[in-house]
Amino acid sequence: MKKNTTAIFTLLLTLLLSIPSIANAEEEAAKYSYFTLEPEITTNFITDGRKLGFINVRIDLMVDDPSLIQMLEYHQPLIRDTIIEVLAQENEVRVKSLSGREAIRKACLEKVNELLLAETNQKVLVDLLFTKYLYQ
């Protein structure tokens, strides 16, 4: 009987001590906030032939402080314009390859962060994600 009581007590103590670490893990996971650019961006890209290439992307912007979402909403037109400029300068090979897609994503992140740094005097974005990426 004493062994069972000790085992139950040890189990309860372990559970009680793990609850704060679970809460901390949830706080860590909720640390980032996302802002989706609406509507999706559709623009042209450079092709080798006579036909036009189109790219359609949905973009989520990741920030580490939820209060920065309002700033992103305010600067959304500038952010959209910067991303359209980056996409319009890309060639067909780069748009259609996986490594090119990643390079384009990083270029968009870098350009948008440069823009926001000039506008707000702080680096705002943690990451920029393509949640939809279609080309034709």
Give the CATH number, domain containing residue 122.
Answer: 3.30.479.30
pLDDT tens digits along 102-115:
999 999 999 999 99
Give the span between the Cα atoms of 68 and 28, in whole angstroms: 17
Same domain flag for 49 and 11: no
Distance, CA of 112 to CA of 30 (rounded, Å)? 23
CA–CA gap between residue 96 and residue 88 (Å, rounded)? 14
Looking at the 3D structure of the chain, how many domains does it have? 2
The rounded distance, in Å, linking the Cα atoms of 95 and 89 is 10
Shared domain for 52 and 9, answered yes or no, is: no
- Regarding whether 58 and 90 lie in a shared domain, the answer is yes
Q: What are phi and psi of 68, to 5 degrees?
A: -80, -10
Q: Domain containing 42: what range?
A: 33-135
| Mean pLDDT score across all residues of the chain | 87
* Residues 68-92: tens digit of each pLDDT: 999 999 999 999 999 999 999 999 9
Answer yes or no: do 57 and 90 share one domain. yes
- Judgement on whether residues 53 and 23 belong to the same structural domain of the protein: no
CA 16/CA 127 separation, integer angstroms: 36
